[in-house]
């Protein structure tokens, strides 16, 4: 199954195989920048993005993701792009896109 990931406010879109790539990888594939201070080792929380639509297309938040956001004082409503693999259509936003 394929899914469409839409990035706001740039309106760029990418179609990926469901569950195959992280949201961070999909973001880079579409040519948008995304912060990472941990080398994508799931530790820095810099890759937090807002999920505008399709939150159900992502895995449930793990205790580790919650803990990393708390430790790094990141908005708890953001999802960490290196932690999640879109499995359905999704719209995400970062102010710098």
Residue 73 contacts residue 31 (beta carbons within 8 Å): no
Q: Is position 58 an interface residue for ligand FES (rule: CB under 6 A)?
A: no
What lies within 8 Å, CB to CB, of 32 at 6+ separation is 7, 10, 12, 94, 97
For the bound state, the minimum distance from the C-beta of residue 38 to ligand FES, rounded and expressed in Å, comes to: 4
Q: Is position 27 an interface residue for ligand FES (rule: CB under 6 A)?
A: no
Residue 49 contacts residue 78 (beta carbons within 8 Å): yes
Q: How crowded is residue 20: how many other Cβ atoms within 10 Å of its Cβ?
A: 13
For the bound state, the minimum distance from the C-beta of residue 6 to ligand FES, rounded and expressed in Å, comes to: 20
For the bound state, the minimum distance from the C-beta of residue 40 to ligand FES, rounded and expressed in Å, comes to: 5
Q: Is position 36 an interface residue for ligand FES (rule: CB under 6 A)?
A: yes
Provide the binding-site residues for ligand FES, judged by CB under 6 A.
36, 38, 40, 42-47, 80, 82
């Amino acid at each position: 199954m394929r899914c469409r990931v839409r990035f706001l406010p740039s309106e760029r879109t990418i179609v990926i195989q469901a569950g195959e790539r992280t949201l961070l990888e999909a973001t880079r594939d579409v040519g948008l920048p995304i912060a990472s201070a941990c080398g994508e080792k799931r530790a820095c929380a810099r890759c937090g993005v807002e999920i505008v639509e399709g939150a159900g297309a992502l895995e449930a938040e793990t205790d580790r993701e919650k803990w990393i956001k708390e430790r790094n004082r990141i908005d708890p409503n953001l999802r960490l792009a290196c932690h999640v693999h879109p499995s359905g259509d999704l719209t995400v936003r970062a102010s710098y896109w």
